[in-house]
Every structure is written in C-alpha cells, then in structure tokens.
Amino acid sequence: MTTASTDSVEPPRYTVADSEPAAELGRWTAVALAALLGLAALVVVGRRLAGALSTPLDAASLTCVAMIAAASAALAHLLARRSWLSRYAWWAVHVGLTVALGLMALSTSLPGVSRLGLALLWAVVCGEEIWAWRLLGSRESRRRTSRAAATPPAAAIAPAIPNLPEQQQHGGPDTEKSGNEERIEDSMPSDDVLQQLTRSRLPGGGEAFRGWLRVPLAAGQRSANVHLAFCPPFSQTPEVAIDQQDGPPARIRTVQILPYGARIDLKLAQACDEDGAIVLHFTAETSPCENPGERASLTHR
C-alpha cells in the first residue's frame, strides 16, 4: 500500500537573484530628468506670469528649446519603461512629463512669435508625446497578453502533471491514496498556500516526492532561486520534473540535483510590474534502492 511519509520536510528557500545596478541607475536617471523638466516648466511659467517673458523667441530658438525638452522627456520615458519598479509610478512619471512639456510650450508661445517657430515647437512636443503615449499603450497591451498567457485554463492543468503509474490509476488495493494526497497531486492550491508536499513509496520499492511550490515575486524582480530540500534524503539522486502552472512566463532550469535537495533557477521574460508569484508543480522519483544500507547511511549523514 502506498503510504505518505510523515517526516518533517524543510521548506524551500527563495532568494532574489538579480538586483541589477543598471536598472537602479536608469530608474533614478528617469526621476532626475522628470524633476528637471518639471522645475524648468515651473520657472518658465513663473517668468511668464511675472511678465519677464515679453520678447518672443525666434524660430531657431523655439525649435532648439522644443528639441531639448522633447529629447529629455523621451529619454525619461524610455528609462522609466525599462527599469521602473511599479506601473503606477511609471504612469505618474509619464503624466508629469506630459504636463511639464505642455506648460513649457504654452509659456513660450508668446504673442507675435514666428508662425514657423510656433509650428515647429508644437510639432516637436506633440510628436514626442504621441510617441510616448503609444509606447505606454503597447506596454500595457503586452502586460495583459503575457498575464493571460501565463494563466492556463483549468482543463489544461491536469495534462501538465506527470502521469501516475498504471496500477495507481486503476486504484488497486496496493495503490489506494488518501484524500489529502489526491488533492495535493491533482489540484492547484489556493493563493494563500506557499507549498503542498507529499512523499510516498512506489509499488516497486522506490520513492516519490511530489507537490506544489508558490515562489513569491516582488515588483521589479526578474529572477529567483528555489532550494528544495529532500528530508530525509533519498537513497540515490532522484529524477526531477518541474512544470510551471501559473504566474508570469519564466524559464525554469534545474541547476543541481542531489539526494538531499535540488536547486532551481527561475528567469522571467521581463521584470514584474507588480508583486506576484510563480506556481510550480514538481515530481522527484527514485528507482528501488539496490543497496538497502545506502539509505541508512544517507539518513544519518
């Protein structure tokens, strides 16, 4: 009869693998550019309200101002899009840059200014902002698409779980399972469950260690390591199979497999926009131990 082991199992450890300095530099550069543009817009608006801007600029000067401001805003948009840790903060930077450019363009559009200069000023500013808003729309569309693709329908979850031996599928007297084992192996746990594990003996004498792991992800995180312990250790190095069942798309690589544990590396296609998690289903199985003394030596190591 298949029996579930009641030995204590060390919970898996999760570690963040990439706190990229380049992302931090880009984030603070975007903040600095947005702050400088906002400050420049406030200065120009203040001088306009105070009557200090009475002489209109020529076409060349207006075009130069528009190009410098638009280039700075475009760079800030790109840096924020690639490295910002929160989509809400990205929205705040985006809207702030749009308001700053609009105020600057309005304040420099003085009566009597060259029509050519005025047309160039607004063409550059509006062109940059249209590009930025389209960029935001494509980013949101990709985020929704990736989130929908990463959540498989309920019917698609069952085939991804490794098949049980034929005798266990037919539910003979030697393969009967408890209700808890069935739930652990066949259904995804609820959102508040971090792990569900079960260890059982196979009919041929080997062992199976199956379960679910929920790997927490923080906003901005792109990779993580999972250290899964087999306690007590197997009598030999097991065969490990891992499938992602939920969460943002990620590359899963089993870096190391030992009789007493395994290390799994996760690499996301892109950094998380917000806090989330990846749900993994794993199976670790061993064949019957050829030397019964091996298990005792590993257990007491």
Q: Hey, what are 123's tokens?
A: 């063409």
What's the pLDDT score for residue 167? 42
pLDDT tens per residue, range 146-202: 445 444 444 444 444 444 444 444 444 444 444 444 444 557 777 778 888 888 888
Rounded CA separation 23/27 (Å): 6
Per cent of the chain over pLDDT 70 is: 68
Among 96, 128, 149, residue at a domain's last position: 149
Same-domain check for residues 228 and 112: no
pLDDT tens-digit profile of 105-118?
898 888 888 889 88
Closest CA to 273 of 204, 233, 221: 221
The verdict on 124 and 170 lying in the same domain is no
Question: Do the domain assignments include residue 6?
Answer: no
Residue type, 227: H
Give domain status of residue 243, yes or no: yes
Q: Are 277 and 192 in contact (CB under 8 A)?
A: no
Phi and psi for 289 in degrees, rounded to 5?
Answer: -70, 125
How many domains would you assign to the chain? 2
Q: Residue 289's pLDDT is what?
A: 57
What's the confidence (pLDDT) of residue 292? 45
Domain CATH code at residue 295: 2.60.40.2080
Alpha carbon separation from 208 to 74, 164, 172, 195, 232 (Å, rounded): 55, 10, 18, 16, 12
Q: Which of 128, 149, 170 is the last residue of a domain?
A: 149
- Look at phi and psi of residue 153 and say left if phi exceeds 0, alpha if psi is from -120 to 50, else beta: beta
Q: What is the mean pLDDT of the chain?
A: 74
* Same domain, residue pair 174 and 287: yes
Same domain, 93 and 173: no
Residues 53, 178 within the same domain = no
The last residue of a domain, from among 119, 149, 179? 149
Q: 283 and 162 in one domain?
A: yes
Rounded to whole angstroms, the Cα distance separating 67 from 102 reads 13
Instruction: Kindly give, in sequence order, each residue whose CB lies less than 8 Å from that of residue 62, ignoring residues fewer than 6 positions away.
Output: 108, 113, 114, 117, 118, 120, 121
Q: Give kind and range of the element (H or E) at residue 185.
A: helix 179-186
Same domain? 47 vs 27: yes
Q: What is the pLDDT of residue 235?
A: 85
Task: Give yes or no: residues 174 and 295 share one domain.
Answer: yes
Q: Hunting for tokens 């998690």 — which residue is that?
A: 277
What per-residue confidence (pLDDT) applies to 86?
A: 62
116 and 205 both lie in a single domain: no
Q: Are residues 188 and 288 in the same domain?
A: yes
Q: Is residue 44 part of a domain?
A: yes
**Residue 181 included in any domain:** yes
d(CA 52, CA 46): 9
pTM of the model: 0.44
Task: Kindly state whether residue 12 falls inside one of the protein's structural domains.
Answer: no
User: Cα separation of 175 and 203, whole Å?
Assistant: 8
144 and 164 co-located in one domain: no
Instruction: Residue 3: name the closest of 166, 186, 198 by CA.
Output: 198
Whether residue 207 lies inside any domain: the answer is yes
| Predicted local confidence at residue 201, as pLDDT | 87
Q: Is residue 3 in a domain? A: no
Residue 11 reports pLDDT greater than 60: no
Residue 7 lies in a domain: no
Name the residue range of residue 57's domain: 21-149
